[in-house]
Amino acid sequence: MQSKENKGIFIRAMLYFVNLLMCYEVLTVSNTLRKRVLEELGAKITKLKDEEYYEELKDFTGTVGLKRGESDAPRHLTRYFDSLLPKTAGGLWHELLAYIFLLRNDFGYIVPLLLTQRLMSLRGSIVPPDFLIITYDKRVYGIEVGTKKEIQSGSFSLQTAIPTATIDTINSRTSDRCPICKRWIPLCPYVIDNYSNLEKRITKPKVKCLDECTFYPEEKVATGECPYTKYSRNRAKTLGYTHHVYADGLHYHYRCILDKLPEDLKNTIVDAKDTVALMTHYPYYGGLEELMGNAD
């Protein structure tokens, strides 16, 4: 981790690991994969088969462990799933991506506190944020990944006089779960190559696949052969190929869109080669704009 080249290798490894976490999280929606994993666990840990909900979860054919209202499973089965096969969605990979985002943007020296639940003193304890940043001009900032921890962050700042910023994960485009298949859309090889190349300056999070991709030629991107391409479009009055139910501004697998639409509309969308709709994204987190200005 001393050289810039080795830091780039580290960033590449983290990005591929995030993709693995996204693949693992398919257990929530894939009945076949979930059953195979549970059967393998049951064969290796035989007492597991005696647990109350093991057989019910193994044979369950709907989605499990999604947000409330989106999961097909009853609450008791979701709780069992979360205890037996913990989900990794969002929390873990956002923390890893936030770390390499801080590293790549050269904010300063990063102190990860992800595994430190409390900082102790003889008089008491405080709950720290996920990271501390020591800037090159000797200032210290706390960084909390995700919202809904404002009271915790405020308490830390009041007790330490260390200002704390919150990273916005809700609007991060590395959290796009396709509304059709319910699977996460992973980071593509083009994004991984460029983001791990620390000599390459990245000024915007959005990648226009048809214009920029170097892994798939334009025709293959347009026909949905790339498994990473996202589709996001709002309906436009003058563009007939946007007149369909999925032109709602959400981010889908482009492949899923093509599979769901009638053949004639599918062919129209492919022929349109819509550079606005077909995209992917670099890791990017809002909430640190002031720090980014200082880093520049």
CA distance 87 to 94: 13
Q: How many CB atoms lie within 10 A of CB 230?
A: 23
CB 242 within 8 A of CB 236: yes
Q: How far is CA 147 from CA 120, 121, 182, in A?
A: 24, 27, 23
Q: Which of 9, 11, 15 is nearest to 228 (CA)?
A: 15
- Counting Cβ atoms within 10 Å, is residue 26 exposed (0-12), middle (13-18) or buried (19+)? middle
Q: What are the backbone angles phi and psi of residue 208, rounded to the nearest 5°?
A: -90, 105
**Per-domain residue ranges of the chain:** 4-84, 91-170, 189-281
pLDDT digits (tens), the chain, 296 positions: 789 999 999 999 999 999 999 998 899 999 999 999 999 999 999 999 999 999 999 999 999 988 878 889 999 999 999 888 776 666 789 999 999 999 999 999 999 998 888 999 998 999 999 999 999 999 999 999 987 777 788 889 999 999 998 888 888 888 899 999 999 999 999 999 999 999 999 989 999 999 999 999 999 999 999 999 999 999 998 999 999 999 999 999 999 999 999 999 999 999 999 999 999 999 999 888 777 665 55
What is this structure's pTM? 0.88
